[in-house]
Amino acid sequence: MTDENSSHNDKTPIKPPSLLDALVAILTLIILLAAAVSLFGSDAITGPVQIALILSAMVAMLIGLKNGHRWADMGRAAVEGIATAMGAIFILLAVGALIGTWSMSGTIVTLVYYGVSILNPTWYYVACVIICGLVALSIGSSWTVAATLGVSLIAVAGVIGVSPEITAGAVISGAYFGDKMSPLSETTNLAPAVAGTDIFTHIKNMVWTTLPSILIALVIFGFIGFTRPGAVVEFDVSRVLEILDSIFNISFWTLLPLLAVLLMALRKMPAFPTVFVGALLGGIMAVILQPDIVLAFVNEPDLSQPVAMIKGIWSAMATGFALETGYASLDALISRGGMASMLETVWLIISAMAFGGVLENSGLLARLLQPLLEKAKTAKSMLISVGLTAIGMNIIAGDQYMAIVLPGKMFAAEFRKKGIAPETLSRQIEDTATITSPLVPWNSCGAYMAATLGIATFTYLPYCFFNLINPLLSFIYDIAGFQIKRIKAEEPVPEPLTEGTFYGVGGQRVEPTTLGQ
């Protein structure tokens, strides 16, 4: 590698990239991703996709070098791209630790115990959407909902015989509906900020697309529950409950870690300490309520009991919890978690963010989007261009926040010139950027959901009905010219946010690297 000061002379002019340059970089990614999926199938996400992203980043850097960019600058951009995802990476590691200690403490088992007792398989998917939607609406975090309720609902699905893949789609549909409509959500604050409107006008305007989308999704989930009896198998409820009760001390106290996490999220504590504290509480409750299970997990009789307990918590957080019960289905339910289980996903996020950073630094990203901006002359075409740009950013850059900020920055001024109300822009951004982010495997949101729920992105994607319907309905509105609000002459319009610092409810400062999703 060359030295930072020797790759190019500082006076070397930088040539703007051509459209062909940008297309070569993107086509390289598409071809390599297609090859990875074709050759490795469902295992592509465990390494081949990461290699495809890194090779694509190298191609983009070579194009940048050709155009006069310095290798060191593009390398620094790749590192800075990764830095923007560090908040998400640490949250992901904390979720791994949380799943490990909650498996050991009986928190997940208790939720499964009561879920099996209460939830009817016929209505299960609908219940998942409603439960996750209401909690996400109250705390403003789809990620926290997935890491707590989502994990438990997937576990319940495995026990009662309904589809874990459809359940994952229901969890994500509900979680993203609630997150999108919550004034406590960072993305719901960010979209109106970059567009130049206030959050409550933004939420009010989103009702027109969001409410019909979630209602349609609920009808589809209900239809599946009623018309697919083959997806539900017969099981002995009493036997399942008896087995769980004989292994774990199941009581209200095992739910304290969950209640603590939800309370901290409701009070808008940052996501990483919230989840990490939840993991520690899970370990403490395991020591108090399940001491025999902790000792059996450590399985080192020579250690004193206090030392064994500490090692048990430490191990569950680091490498996950494992317990052999003699029942294979329950072993799979209980034995999971640990930060180590998230490392493949961390690798995926790092690769995707490095590629996105190089694309942005070399000008290839802006050049690729330039035709969209130039050809968008009418209100309808501008809105469609915003939506396509947002979805494209989720796919190309692998980052939800770039998918929100970039279209907002690109189109805010043009919307103002044409007299289109900023809440129309912010609504389109959320309908496309926020909602489609968990549908892309190498996007930080898609990688997080797959790792947390234990279901591959491409496997749960067809069942994320809300996430698929919402952007489609938004595009239908655009084509029909429906709900395109205009600026009233007497109304002052706030300037759109153009800096890298965002302000949420109550004026609190929010950095993209610490957003809680």
Q: Check residues 449 and 242 and name the one with the higher pLDDT.
A: 449
Distance CA 408, CA 321 (A): 44
- Three-state DSSP at 510 gives strand
Tell how far CA 221 is from the center of its chain.
21
In the prediction, which pLDDT does 14 show?
Answer: 85
Confidence band of 494 (pLDDT split at 50, 70, 90)? low
pLDDT, tens only, 240-263: 677 778 888 888 899 999 899 888
In the block, tokens 């893949």 appear at 165
Distance CA 258, CA 497 (A): 36
In the block, tokens 């001024």 appear at 413
Q: Check residues 268 and 58 and name the one with the higher pLDDT.
A: 58
Closest CA to 279 of 105, 85, 90: 105
Q: Check residues 87 and 490 and name the one with the higher pLDDT.
A: 87
What are φ and ψ of residue 252, in 5° steps?
-60, -30
Q: Compute CA distances 222 → 115, 147, 163, 166, 241, whole Å.
A: 18, 24, 14, 12, 26
Please state whether beta strands 509-510 and 502-503 pair in parallel, antiparallel, or not at all (unpaired): antiparallel
> Is the pLDDT score of 3 beyond 80?
no
In the prediction, which pLDDT does 7 show?
Answer: 43
Range picked from 43-52, 241-250, 301-310, 323-332 for highest mean pLDDT: 301-310
Question: Considering the chain, what percentage of its residues have pLDDT values greater than 70?
Answer: 89
In the prediction, which pLDDT does 490 show?
Answer: 54
CA atoms within 13 Å, Cβ hemisphere of 269: 16
> Is the pLDDT score of 475 beyond 90?
yes
Distance CA 313, CA 90 (A): 19
Tell how far CA 155 is from the center of its chain.
19
> Is the pLDDT score of 2 beyond 50?
no
**Comparing 167-176, 386-395, 402-411, 439-448, which segment has the lowest mean pLDDT?**
402-411
Q: Check residues 221 and 498 and name the one with the higher pLDDT.
A: 221
In the prediction, which pLDDT does 188 show?
Answer: 85
Confidence band of 295 (pLDDT split at 50, 70, 90)? very high
> Is the pLDDT score of 285 beyond 90?
yes
Confidence band of 329 (pLDDT split at 50, 70, 90)? low
In the prediction, which pLDDT does 485 show?
Answer: 81
**Contact in structure between 156 and 109 (CB atoms under 8 Å):** no
**Contact in structure between 424 and 485 (CB atoms under 8 Å):** yes
Q: Check residues 212 and 226 and name the one with the higher pLDDT.
A: 212
**Comparing 2-16, 42-56, 371-385, which segment has the lowest mean pLDDT?**
2-16
1 burial via Cβ count (<10 Å: 0-12, 13-18, 19+): exposed
Sequence-distant (≥ 6) Cβ neighbours of residue 283 within 8 angstroms: 101, 104, 105, 312, 313, 316, 317
> Is the pLDDT score of 326 beyond 80?
no
* H-helix segments, 13-106: 19-40, 48-66, 71-84, 86-105
Q: What is the mean pLDDT of the chain?
A: 83
| Three-state secondary structure readout of 291-356 | HHHHHHHHCCCCCCHHHHHHHHHHHHHHCCECCCCCCHHHHHHHCECCHHHHHHHHHHHHHHHHHH
Residue ranges of domains in the chain: 87-341
> Is the pLDDT score of 314 beyond 70?
yes
Distance CA 102, CA 295 (A): 16
- Three-state DSSP at 412 gives helix
pLDDT, tens only, 107-154: 888 887 887 777 778 889 999 999 999 888 877 888 888 988 898 899
Confidence band of 378 (pLDDT split at 50, 70, 90)? confident
**Contact in structure between 112 and 102 (CB atoms under 8 Å):** no
In the prediction, which pLDDT does 51 show?
Answer: 92
